[in-house]
Amino acid sequence: MNTHLALEFAQTDILNHLVALDAAELDALDFGVIGMGADTVVRDYNALESKFAGLSKERVIGHPLFTVVAPCMNNFMVAQRFEDAAAAGAALDTTLDYVLTLRMRPVKVQLRLLAEPGSERRFVLVNRRL
């Protein structure tokens, strides 16, 4: 019954599964999830991401991701990819190695960037690299 628990960071067609989940279901995932609208304002921020970053959902949801929440992604490696995909009307599903500054510690992660031309919802998924 808890089909979402089977969701994995790397699985294909993950965007369609994610949009179907509510907040509690996103919280149950074992990777970080940041969802935002086309305006980059954060809509979803799951429990794991909140714990990694040391920020409660209230401080993050409703704020622009790249300026108020995660300036570290505001460069051509992350933010620009979303802009480029939107400008080209193309789907975005790419995974890259990155370093996040979670509670000011440099933490190696994999980021998966997801966007669909027809969908308002965009996601950044965060997986810790070993």
Alpha carbon distance 129, 57 (integer Å): 24
Q: What minimum distance in Å lies between the beta carbon of 3 and another protein?
A: 33
124 binds another protein per the rule CB under 8 A: no
Please report which helix (H) or strand (E) contains residue 44, including its range: strand 42-45
Indicate the residue among 7 and 53 with the shorter CB distance to another protein: 53
87 binds another protein per the rule CB under 8 A: no
Q: What minimum distance in Å lies between the beta carbon of 64 and another protein?
A: 11
Indicate the residue among 3 and 75 with the shorter CB distance to another protein: 75
Q: How many residues does the chain have?
A: 130
Site for another protein in 26-85 (CB under 8 A): 53-56, 59, 67-77, 80
Alpha carbon distance 50, 22 (integer Å): 16
Alpha carbon distance 42, 35 (integer Å): 6
How many chain residues are in contact with another protein, going by CB under 8 A?
27
Single-letter residue type at 128: R
95 binds another protein per the rule CB under 8 A: no
Alpha carbon distance 66, 82 (integer Å): 11
Q: Give the footprint of another protein on this chain (CB under 8 A).
A: 53-56, 59, 67-77, 80, 97-101, 103-106, 108
